[in-house]
Copies of this chain bind each other. A is one copy, B any other.
């Protein structure tokens, strides 16, 4: 029996997607083999790959002058790829907003290849908020401007898209496909799949075509966006099963009403949980109201001696993976697209009951 799964990633996948994958795992569309067992260059897999790209383009309304890449190495791979692909022009410095662990890792890697200007940081209050739009200024010259629209660990989300002159680069790993985004305002968007797209092992890069010409000499082949773009993301063998599963998720998203429907759902789900947290005496959110993530909801118990009991009883109740990230402790419920409203209802109901029982 399937349980409610609040894992931050690799995260829950839509059940209909898993059911279809299961049904055709040994015999894909009557071909006598698995989708895992065909050449990535075969006509049948090319169709899978192209449909996945088109569906993603449709869902996010990606303009024609952007390339969509399916790559390996996750968002962490892109922490290196971004400076390697964008510091080859006149400017070898970039602006970054520092909002927590993921922004921090991106900053650390980029600093190895050029100058990083941290134009804003929420470190002063333990990364519990996203800096406001009027709290920072873009540098005079910058190869790009990087931010993390949603911090998976801190549960902090920007409620605005920065307006900058430099190409805007965003790690959307834990927020992509959860709301409509103005792709045309970005230079490059990237996202590991394992939250809102598909299984781990594949990542999506959406990059404006003119940015494919700025790579540093010596860029490793596997990080080079231009080579990937020219090869249709098949310079080498791609992760075909992960690509196929991501494509099934895109089809499922379309059938659910697309990203606008997911956005409404995410507002409903997260509000349900935050409202409870704000009313509760036992549970609370450590994140500033204006910056609370719709995707990742960290929360703490007033008495942390109850943490272990909460975790074991919630698991017994069929509510999986509520432990917070090992670096921050506490609890976290991730409410990605594949997590149904019923899961959040069950969680809130369990938490209310738990609070009554321990009072």
Closest CB in chain B relative to A155 CB, distance in Å? 16
Q: Which of B5, B33, B200 contacts A241 (CB under 8 A)?
A: B200
Stretch of A6-14, A142-150, A178-186 on the interface side: A6-14
Tell me, in angstroms, the Cα distance from A27 to B241 when the chains sit together: 19
Stretch of A126-134, A272-280, A318-326 on the interface side: A318-326
CB atoms of B76 and A221 under 8 A apart: yes
CB atoms of A72 and B75 under 8 A apart: no
A–B complex contacts, Cβ < 8 Å, 10 sampled: A11-B37, A12-B33, A19-B26, A22-B25, A22-B26, A39-B321, A72-B239, A79-B221, A80-B220, A112-B218
CB atoms of B72 and A201 under 8 A apart: yes
**Chain B residues, CB < 8 A from A242:** 201, 239, 241-242
B-contacting residues, A18-34, CB 8 Å: 18-19, 21-22, 25-27, 31-34
CB atoms of A237 and B192 under 8 A apart: yes
Tell me, in angstroms, the Cα distance from A334 to B74 when the chains sit together: 31
CB atoms of B109 and A321 under 8 A apart: no
Closest CB in chain B relative to A263 CB, distance in Å? 23
**7 A-B pairs with least C-beta separation:** A201-B239, A3-B32, A76-B236, A80-B220, A72-B72, A22-B25, A77-B222
A contact patch SS: loop
**Chain B residues, CB < 8 A from A320:** 31-33
CB atoms of A235 and B76 under 8 A apart: yes
Closest CB in chain B relative to A135 CB, distance in Å? 30
Tell me, in angstroms, the Cα distance from A242 to B194 when the chains sit together: 13
A40 at the B interface (CB under 8 A): yes
Q: Which of B8, B36, B236 contacts A199 (CB under 8 A)?
A: B36
A61 at the B interface (CB under 8 A): no
**Chain B residues, CB < 8 A from A21:** 25
CB atoms of B39 and A9 under 8 A apart: yes
Tell me, in angstroms, the Cα distance from A67 to B79 when the chains sit together: 25
**Chain B residues, CB < 8 A from A201:** 72, 201-202, 238-242
Tell me, in angstroms, the Cα distance from A155 to B64 when the chains sit together: 41
Tell me, in angstroms, the Cα distance from A10 to B238 when the chains sit together: 9
A84 at the B interface (CB under 8 A): yes
**Chain B residues, CB < 8 A from A27:** 1-2
CB atoms of A321 and B240 under 8 A apart: no
A94 at the B interface (CB under 8 A): no
**Chain B residues, CB < 8 A from A39:** 7-10, 321
CB atoms of A200 and B10 under 8 A apart: no
Give the residue name and chain of the B residue nearest to A42 (CB). Answer: B321
**Chain B residues, CB < 8 A from A18:** 25-26, 34, 36
CB atoms of B33 and A200 under 8 A apart: no
Q: Which of B12, B75, B240 contacts A200 (CB under 8 A)?
A: B240
Most buried by B among A37, A38, A235: A37
**Chain B residues, CB < 8 A from A84:** 220
CB atoms of A33 and B240 under 8 A apart: no
Give the residue name and chain of the B residue nearest to A173 (CB). Answer: B237
A41 at the B interface (CB under 8 A): yes
Tell me, in angstroms, the Cα distance from A218 to B12 when the chains sit together: 36
